[in-house]
Amino acid sequence: MSPKIKSSRKIARYSLMFMGAGYIATTPFLGSLPLDLLHGGFEAGLVGGLADWFAVTALFRHPLGIPIPHTALLPNNRKRMTNALVSMLKNDWLSKESIQDKVKNIPFTEKLIPVIVKETQSATFRKVLIKLIKQMICYIDVEKVTPFVAKKIKGSLSNMDMSKILHAVSSQLLNEEFDKKALDHVLKKAEDWLKQKQTGHRLGTVSMDVLSKVELEGMLQFAVKSIQSLLNEEKLGNIIQNLLLSVVNNLKNENEPNREALILYIRKEIQGINDNKELLQGVEKWKQQLLTKWEPEATITGTLEQIQQEALNFVEGEHFMDAYLNPIMQRILANLKENSTSIDQWIQKQITILIENNHTQIGNLVQENLDKLDNETLIDMMENGVGKDLQWIRVNGAVCGFIIGIILTGIQALLTLI
């Protein structure tokens, strides 16, 4: 019991004892008007104090432990009183309509945004947010992610349209004038080869061998034999070598018609790459074989681990918060401000739905908490809540009775004199 209630009880008890003592003390001295007035006042005060003590005590328990009818009102009517309290709480004080009307007038974003802005500027918030982001990065299991990434990469490569790739390759080759470069490269290699000393000997050997195997009739056969008798391998090789060098030099000339024809042929072949069905089939088959044998898991795991570590280092950087997170949060807050009306309406709607579905839980919660209390605890709580005022009722009863007693005794004295 609180000290205030104990003090109030003492005052009430002392007021009753004072009235009783005054009543007893003035009884032997009746006969004079002043003492008769005091005696009448103490008598009425004693009666009033006793009556109010009985009334106050009867609310919570039986006076003096005697089971007098219509006493101990709270314990005897506990169920009815708690039901009335729960009903009043649910239907009057915290009704669905009153809560919903109150919620409709609350500007949630207007109240929340300043709080969020203030918190985002604190050092504690920054540390906690960065720590949270690092934990999220560390929670990523790279080995579990690897099969998914590998499957997606293989799937993307498998579904890749090779004709589009070949078309892009051919377009790039033409943009870079690969036809001319390819021809010039071949001519350069051919020229380097033809200028070698052993090249003439090889050409002569091959040519003589071919001539010896040629079977012709008549004059042609005679002419070939004549050439073989006049020329040896070295001379024939030098002739062919010089002839081919002349051809190569002519093809290197930009104005040579044969060069233009070769370049045009190469260009057409490059342009027709993506229409070459055999080439496309071969490239597609090669791609599928490569994907079947390809095992990228180890490479992907290593790459993901490296990315994960780099992400952690990036988050730990001193400029990460100011350069990246703050702008993102500013955009989010700006978006919240721009859509504050819609957000408030959404929050209000969700709260309204929550209240609609769970309003009965308010009464149930109060009822459950009240049912957990035994009578003694409940009475003690009631006395702690209103006991101080009830004890002052006893004091007021004694004082008012004392005053009324004096008045009534005075009136009685006046009537006797009359």
Classify residue 196 by its DSSP letter: S
- Confidence band of 391 (pLDDT split at 50, 70, 90): low
CB neighbours of residue 270 within 10 Å? 19
- Would you state the pLDDT for residue 379? 66
Percent of the chain residues topping a pLDDT of 70: 79
- Confidence band of 378 (pLDDT split at 50, 70, 90): low
Q: Are 378 and 76 in contact (CB under 8 A)?
A: no
Cα 182 to Cα 269: distance, rounded to the nearest angstrom: 12
* DSSP string for residues in 246-281: HHHHHHTSTT-HHHHHHHHHHHHHHHTGGG-HHHHH
Which value, to the nearest 10 degrees, does the dihedral of the CA atoms of residues 227, 229, 230, 235 take?
80
Cα 409 to Cα 370: distance, rounded to the nearest angstrom: 49
Of residues 305 and 18, more confidently modeled: 305
**Long-range contacts from 255-259, C-beta under 8 angstroms, 24+ separation:** 259/183
The SS3 of residue 216 is coil
Q: Are 391 and 8 in contact (CB under 8 A)?
A: yes
Tokens of 35: 């003492």
CA 23 to chain centre: 78
CB neighbour list of residue 46: distance below 8 Å, 6 or more residues apart: 16, 19, 20, 23, 398, 401
Cα 30 to Cα 37: distance, rounded to the nearest angstrom: 9
State pLDDT tens for residues 273-294. 777 788 788 888 888 888 888 8
Classify residue 214 by its DSSP letter: -
- Confidence band of 136 (pLDDT split at 50, 70, 90): very high
* DSSP string for residues in 14-31: HHHHHHHHHHHHHGGGBT
The SS3 of residue 32 is strand
Predicted TM-score (pTM) of this structure: 0.47
Q: Considering the chain, what is the average pLDDT of its residues?
A: 78
Q: How many CA atoms lie within 13 A of 194 on its CB side?
A: 19
State pLDDT tens for residues 243-273. 888 888 888 888 888 888 888 888 888 778 7
- Would you state the pLDDT for residue 243? 87
pLDDT over 90 at 306, yes or no? yes
Cα 81 to Cα 242: distance, rounded to the nearest angstrom: 126
Q: Are 41 and 402 in contact (CB under 8 A)?
A: yes
- Would you state the pLDDT for residue 310? 92
- Confidence band of 3 (pLDDT split at 50, 70, 90): low
- Confidence band of 215 (pLDDT split at 50, 70, 90): low
The amino acid present at 72, given as its one-letter code, is: A
Cα 282 to Cα 277: distance, rounded to the nearest angstrom: 8
CB neighbours of residue 344 within 10 Å? 19
Cα 145 to Cα 142: distance, rounded to the nearest angstrom: 5
Burial of 333 (C-beta count, 10 Å sphere; 0-12/13-18/19+): middle
Could you tell me the CA-to-CA distances from 93 to 86, 90, 158, 198 in Å, in that order?
A: 10, 6, 68, 113
State pLDDT tens for residues 43-102. 887 787 777 777 776 666 777 677 777 676 667 667 777 777 667 766 666 666 777 777
Q: Are 143 and 301 in contact (CB under 8 A)?
A: yes
Q: Average pLDDT in the 354-367 region?
A: 72
The amino acid present at 384, given as its one-letter code, is: N
